[in-house]
Amino acid sequence: MRPAPEFELALFANDEHAAGEVISLSQFEGQPVVLNFWFPSCPPCVAEMPDFEEAYQRFKPDGVQFIGVQLLGLDTAEDGQKFVERLDVNYALGADERDGVFGDIVKDYRVSGFPTTVFIDRDHNIRRTWVGALNVEKLEELVREVL
């Protein structure tokens, strides 16, 4: 296990977050975090997004935070916002861009394939990294490991 790197992420607008709202990992101290790396033109990323929304709604009462980090490059942040609206996902999602620099979070978490999901425990240590798409059953199993 290694400590989860701190990050800040400006969010897309959805039913639960305002456009430009900034979150950081440290604000969720004592809470498990599911950190999903994705981009809109990635078919497996698109396929798993409804399952992430379902798991988010199921585990929200337990204090589990779900955060989606969009890789920029093939798709723009505007593409990401449209994607979030089209799929009606409501957990925290934003593009990996800060001060005009792309990919800091992706680099810090050593992401090499998409989608990648990082499971962070209550002490903010990385418990598991999963490369590839997840369905809701497997996602729930892995979330329970960090509860």
Q: To the nearest whole percent, how much of the chain has pLDDT over 70?
A: 98
Give the number of other Cβ atoms within 10 Å of residue 91's Cβ: 24
Q: Mean pLDDT across the stretch 67-75? A: 94
Residue 7 sits in which domain range? 2-146
The enclosing H or E element of 126 equals: strand 125-131
Total domains in the fold of the chain: 1
Assign 100 a pLDDT band (cuts: 50, 70, 90).
Answer: low
Q: Which pLDDT belongs to residue 37?
A: 97
Residue 86 to residues 78, 82, 142, Cα–Cα distance (Å): 12, 6, 27
Tens digit of each residue's pLDDT (9 = 90 or more) over 45-64: 999 999 999 999 999 999 99
pLDDT for residue 27: 97
CA distances from 117 to 53, 67, 129 (A): 14, 10, 6
Q: Could you tell me the CATH number of the domain that includes residue 10?
A: 3.40.30.10
Output the pLDDT for position 58: 97
pTM of the full structure: 0.95
